[in-house]
Amino acid sequence: MTDTYEETCARLAVEERPEGWALWNTWAEDDLKVTMVVSAVETTEGLLMNWANGRNVLPVMPFPAQIAQVHAGWIATMVFSPYGKKKLGLQGHKL
């Protein structure tokens, strides 16, 4: 993303927060690619640290109150989980 934080919040229709937002690129039930705007920033950081250390942990679904918006498509640069890499056939590829 090249937008500023303020521009991105406006585009995603969420208020700016000092702690920021986490963007979760995932799949809906029908394999539709979606981006969830999630308030659980610390949880997201923990997942990324686990994946960086080779721990194949699956994220749990955020609580409904933690999901501010859901947008069709993947809208940001992402880090794939081990599950996501497998689902997309990207095992063994450096991303």
- The pTM assigned to this predicted structure is 0.78
> 49: which DSSP letter?
H
Other beta carbons within 10 Å of 63: 10
Which one, of 84, 15, 91, 73, lies nearest residue 47 by Cα? 84
Cα–Cα dist 68/64, whole Å? 8
The predicted pLDDT at position 27 comes to 86
Of residues 67 and 25, the one with the higher pLDDT is 67
94 pLDDT more than 60:
no
Local confidence band at 47 (pLDDT 50, 70, 90 cut-offs):
confident
Q: Do the strands 67-72 and 22-27 form a parallel or antiparallel pair, or are they unpaired?
A: unpaired
